[in-house]
Structure 1
Amino acid sequence: MVSHHARTPHQGSVPRCGDGGPERADGADGRGTGLEFLARLGSGPIRITSDVIANLDGVAGAVVLATCNRFEVYCDVGPAADPETTRRHVLGIISTCSGVSHDELSRAFDCLTGTALTEHLFSVGAGLDSAVVGEREITGQLRRSLASAQETGSASGSLVRLFQAASRAAREVGSLTALGEAGRSMVSVALDLALFRLGRRDLSGLSVVVLGTGAYAGSTLALLAAKACPAVSVFSWSGRAEAFASARGATGLTSEDLPAAIRGADVVIGCSGRGPRLGSGDFRAFRQGAAAPLVVVDLALSRDFEPEVGELPGLDLITLEHVRLASPREQTDVVRQAGELVRQAARRFEEDRHARLLDPAIVALREHMQSVLADEVARVKNQHGCTATAEAVEFALRRVVRQLLHVPTSRARELAAAGRQDEYTAALETLFGLDLTAGGKAEAGANKKSPDSCCQEAGDFPLFAKRVGPVGIEPTTHGLKVRCSTN
């Protein structure tokens, strides 16, 4: 599993869940520069998508998690692939798509492996790695990222299981702790800032214009509706505003409608990042004759508004950086409780994943025992015919086989969980003369693009796997993360 993780750290030094100590947030190590670096990753000539990564040699599956303040890539690397070579290929395609140099990417990306990577994704899904700790938007973003990868056939079975487990862990944290019970999110914090700057306590009587029709814009409209905002209108450079807005109880705007809507607005929220940026000249024209103050909220990573907009008289500009700095920290005890639940969920997932690695060996042992049983039953029937004696013997033999298989099967799970599956497979080969190498090769060959087929595989999760012993699958998962972001 590879996670190219771009996060903007919180202000100062803060402890991270699962880390051994605080992490500096000043960028003094020469790594990525937070939101600016993330914006560069997403503004290149080619969009970095799951299928772009999954089409690389050695990559069996990929899921890209890209939000307004996060960019991560999770890869399932085939057993025959060299880990370091695959890492270079992934960084290479990200460099080609984004225009960021390979050297800069190499400096920005760290490596995560095994349980640490699983715990990281589970923490992300639970909102523990967000600027607004416990925010709920990231859970939906995880689901949408997986669904998008599945639609293009980019998500392998192991990635599907990992992301589904992360969603379950997030639900468990939500149901068993008070984390995020206030429903905080980047949007809610931004609206609180806007109300503060307007000197208002609520949205009653205010007019809001939203730019964008994506998932983030949808979350914004849902929150505005929950807060009973009476007048919400939507504009989209792509021309999809009317259908998007009408389905959510808002008003769609055309290009001709936009100037008048902004002139009469109290708050303008940018959630697009895909159209031209509105500058100070645009707002001077839009606001000509308007006396009331205006708050402009820019939630787009690529920015919907030029920075100088905030210098205009009567206009306040709120950026993602303002939102990050204003984001409240949850209570320490609640965060600690949620972190422990995440660690337990990650540990259970890893134990189950390790146990699955010996499924081919268990199947081979059972087939061997069933073959011995069938030969013996056939011998009895040839001697006694289809009589009650033959049936009794067959019944007794089947019971004996089930009992004989119980301990080896249970022991396989225990050894796999302890990372000792090679000892088990070597013992089977020595004691029973089983050749499990062919099964391992077949398993590895099957682990490519089809999510449906991959879900049936026992050993398809390892990110970077090396061939060892007769089965040849050992988890040596590696991941990469970038130290830079807010979500």
Structure 2
Amino acid sequence: MNSSLVHTKFSDTASATSGGLSCLSIDHKSASLSLLERVERHADELVQTLTQNEGHTPLAGDSKTPDQGVISGADDAQQNGSVVIATCNRFEAYFDANSSAPEEAIRAIARITGVPETELTQATRVRHGVDAAHHLFEVSSGLESVVMGEGEIGGQVRRAFSQAKLAGSTTPELERLFQHAATVSKTVKARTRVQTQGRSLVRLALLLAESRIGDWAGTRVLLVGTGAYAAVTLAALRERGARHIAVHSPSGRAHTFAKTREVRPLERDALTAELAAADVIIACSTAQDPIVDAELVARTVTAAPRPFCTSFTGRAGTADLPRQRLFIDLGVPRNIAPEAAQVPGVEVLDLEVIAMHAGVEELSSETEARQITSAAAAEFAADQAERAAVPSVLALRDHVHSVLEAEIARAAKLGPEAAQVQAALRHFAGRLLHEPTLRLRALGRTGQAPVAAAAVQTLFGSSALEPVG
């Protein structure tokens, strides 16, 4: 399973459209597995293109010239950025940029993947402002995963943000957003049961497999892949008592992976023989093309007097029946060709099949978790709005303090009592500013920052809003 986490930084842009937070999302709810595969297959090229500032050939009808890049502009004073989360069931980009950034990114994705733009647009959800923040909070809390409450996604979101920050591709607004998301995820985990009862994709897949397997201890398992999901899968297998586990790595890392995990590594040329011997094959590699095709599976069909578990077929096996094998495909793109399911004795559980069984959760826990994320989104929006009033607050304080400093300078000429006069004036200025400052911030928090600015200008004149010095 490809759980690569990438970050992008779009070029700065001067645009008539307003800026701010936005996101695009292509996930298991909006797109088919085949479309997700096509996007995932071009992940590296997508990252390269989305991060470049120049040098791409524009789409037909695109008014940009080739040297402008995907999202371009001339205002270098505006720092725009983005964070991208790419997992097997999700491709999302969060922008702090001009509001057309998601649409421009969709055009780039369509051009690179070959997916028609109309089809891609239908499978993509675009959100702006507080809706984008709310969506991230639900994603990081596991509420938008294939398996409700999935624990892995929170870590994936955090790592995506960390990588983007290290690369310098975040903005203060994106940093606030992702830090808030991490806090919300922890709150959901602490206050609800949705994550503790939530089952990961791996665990759900093994749970489905258990209806076909009587005893994991006697089951011969082949693990294909050596990445993060392979490690999670191995741990889940061990929890169930599996002892006979071999690992194959398309990239040649089997021995490294097996060295500290007490599993049997396969040489590269041993895959065919192990496929013939294994009862359960679990594929979770990041390979871009199928590792196991129907022809390979057909060559490894063997007859057996009994299947490894009679509950697999509901009857005892006979010598003229193929031995039953279960293939679990957790990869995107698929590690196992869909046609393999047509081979006698083979059953394939891929992500589409697994997703069909992933809708069972306690509604009360989900409802409570969504209430937490909704409240957090409202609080985040209020914080954003309050920050919009900060210029008015600073302008008021600067104006009062400029008058204060003039009075202090005059008081300094009064002689021995000047210090006491200065202290009294500063205390007076603080008392004078306290209540107006609270009121201005409150106006901003309710989305009335322009009212706050107008109030300061009305009371003190336009010069009060000009920076001092």
Q: TM-score of the superposition, structure 2-length normalised?
A: 0.79
Which position in structure 2 is the counterpart of 1:136?
151
Counterpart contact for 1:48–1:94, Cα < 8 Å: yes
* Residue 219 (structure 2) pairs with residue 206 (structure 1): yes
* Comparing 259-268 and 91-100, the one that deviates more: 259-268
Q: How many residue pairs get matched?
A: 407
Q: How many angstroms apart in 1 are the aligned matches of 2:40 and 2:106?
A: 14
**Correspondence for 2:122:** 107
Q: Which has the higher contact order (CA 8 A, sep 6+)?
A: 1
* Structure 2 equivalent of residue 374 of structure 1: 405
Secondary structure, in 3 states, of the residue corresponding to 1:259?
A: helix
Counterpart of 2:293? 279
Instruction: Give, in angstroms, the shift of residue 380 of structure 1.
Output: 1.5
Alpha carbons 2:198, 2:361 under 8 Å: kept: no
Q: Is the 8 A contact 2:26 2:36 kept in 1?
A: yes
> Is there any run of 5+ residues in structure 1 with no aligned partner, and where?
10-31, 440-487
Gaps of 5+ in 2: 1-20, 54-70, 74-78, 309-323
What does residue 73 of structure 1 align with? 93
Aligned to 2:374: 343
Stretch of structure 1 that moved more, 57-66 or 318-327: 57-66
Aligned-partner SS, 1:49: helix
Output the CA distance in 1 between the equivalents of 2:233 and 2:48.
Answer: 26
User: Residues 217-271 of structure 1: CA distance to partner in whole angstroms, max 9, x if unpaired?
Assistant: 3332333344443243433222233334435554443313433443433322111
Contact 1:45 1:98 in 2 (8 A): no
The alignment-based identity, stated in percent, is 34
CA distance in 2 between counterparts of 1:159 and 1:51 reads: 21
The 2-side partners of 1:355 and 1:318 are apart by: 50
Separation in structure 2 between the aligned mates of residue 57 and residue 117 of structure 1, nearest angstrom: 22
Give the corresponding residue for 2:108.
93
Cα distance per residue 1:44-70 (max 9 Å; x no partner): 385333982585326811111221111
**Which of these residues, 176, 180, 196, is aligned with residue 165 of structure 1?**
180
Q: 1:266 maps to what in 2? A: 279
Mapped partners of 1:212, 1:438: distance in 2: 61
Secondary structure of 1:296's counterpart equals: strand
Q: Does 1:426 align with 2:454?
A: yes
Q: 1:183 to 1:247 in 2, by over 3 A?
A: farther
CA distance in 1, matches of 2:52, 2:425: 48
Q: Could you say if the C-alpha distance between residues 194 and 114 of structure 1 is closer, same or farther in structure 2, counting changes exceeding 3 Å?
A: same
> What does residue range 48-67 of structure 1 map to in structure 2 within 5 Å?
48-49=46-47, 52=50, 55=53, 56-57=71-72, 60-67=80-87
* Aligned with residue 360 of structure 1, among 372, 386, 391: 391
Change over 3 Å in CA distance of 1:420–1:72 after alignment to 2? same
C-alpha displacement of 1:142: 1.1
Which of 178, 193, 196 is residue 181 of structure 1 equivalent to? Answer: 196
SS at 1:72's partner residue? strand
Indicate yes or no: 2:233 matched with 1:220.
yes
Q: Distance in 2 between matches of 1:314 and 1:323?
A: 20
Q: Tell me how far apart the structure 2 counterparts of residues 410 and 248 of structure 1 sit (CA, whole Å).
A: 59
Pair 1:97–1:401, CA change in 2 (3 A): farther
2:171 paired with 1:156 = yes
Q: Could you tell me the TM-score, scaled by structure 1's length? A: 0.76
Q: Give the distance between the partners of 1:436 and 1:73, measured in 2 at CA.
A: 40
When residues 172 and 215 of structure 1 are mapped into structure 2, their CA distance, relative to the original with a 3 A threshold, is same
Task: Say if 2:8 is the partner of 1:8.
Answer: no
Q: Is the 8 A contact 1:51 1:154 kept in 2?
A: no
Matched, 1:37 2:35: yes
What is the distance in 1 between the residues matched to 2:113 and 2:387?
37
Could you tell me which residue of structure 2 aligns to residue 403 of structure 1?
Answer: 431
Distance 1:45 1:7, change over 3 A: closer
Q: Which residue of 2 aligns with 1:412?
A: 440
Structure 1 stretch displaced more, 428-437 or 118-127:
428-437
User: In structure 1, how many angstroms separate the alpha carbons of the residues matched to 2:112 and 2:127?
Assistant: 23
Opposite residue 40 of structure 1, the aligned amino acid is R
Tell me by how many angstroms 1:289 deviates: 7.2
Partner of 1:322: 353
Q: Give the CA RMSD over aligned residues.
A: 2.7
Q: Is the 8 A contact 1:280 1:309 kept in 2?
A: yes
What's the counterpart of residue 481 of structure 1? none
Aligned to 2:317: none
Q: Distance in 2 between matches of 1:250 and 1:363?
A: 63
Note closer, same or farther for the CA distance 1:416–1:102 as it changes in structure 2 (3 Å cut). same
Contact kept in structure 2, 1:134 and 1:184, CA below 8 Å = yes
1:454 aligns to what?
A: none
Aligned in 2, Cα 1:47/1:394: closer, same or farther, shift over 3 Å?
Answer: same
SS at 1:407 equivalent: helix
User: How far has the Cα of 1:415 moved from its partner?
Assistant: 1.1
The answer on 1:241 being equivalent to 2:269 is: no
Deviation at 1:358? 2.3
Partner Cα distance (2:104, 2:339) in 1 = 39
Does 116-125 or 96-105 show the bigger shift? 96-105
CA displacement at 1:183 relative to structure 2? 4.5
Amino acid at match of 2:86: A
Contact 1:53 1:90 in 2 (8 A): no
3-state secondary structure, aligned to 1:327: coil
- Judge conservation of contact 2:224–2:248 (CA < 8 Å) in 1: yes
Could you say which residue in structure 1 is the equivalent of 2:66? none
Give the 3 Å change call, closer, same or farther, for CA 369–192 of structure 1 in structure 2: same
Q: Separation in 1 of the partners of 2:49 and 2:455?
A: 40
How far apart are 1:288 and its partner, in Å?
5.2
Q: Could you tell me how far apart the structure 2 residues matched to 1:377 and 1:407 are? A: 23
Structure 1 segments, 4+ long, off by >6 Å, are 436-439
* Kept after mapping to 1: 8 A contact 2:137/2:181: yes
Offset at residue 304 of structure 1 (A): 0.4
Q: 1:45 to 1:205 in 2, by over 3 A?
A: closer
* Aligned counterparts of 2:158 and 2:52: Cα–Cα separation in 1: 18
Q: What displacement does 1:432 show?
A: 2.7
Q: Give distance in 2, aligned partners of 1:437 and 1:371.
A: 13
Q: Distance in 1 between matches of 2:434 and 2:43?
A: 57
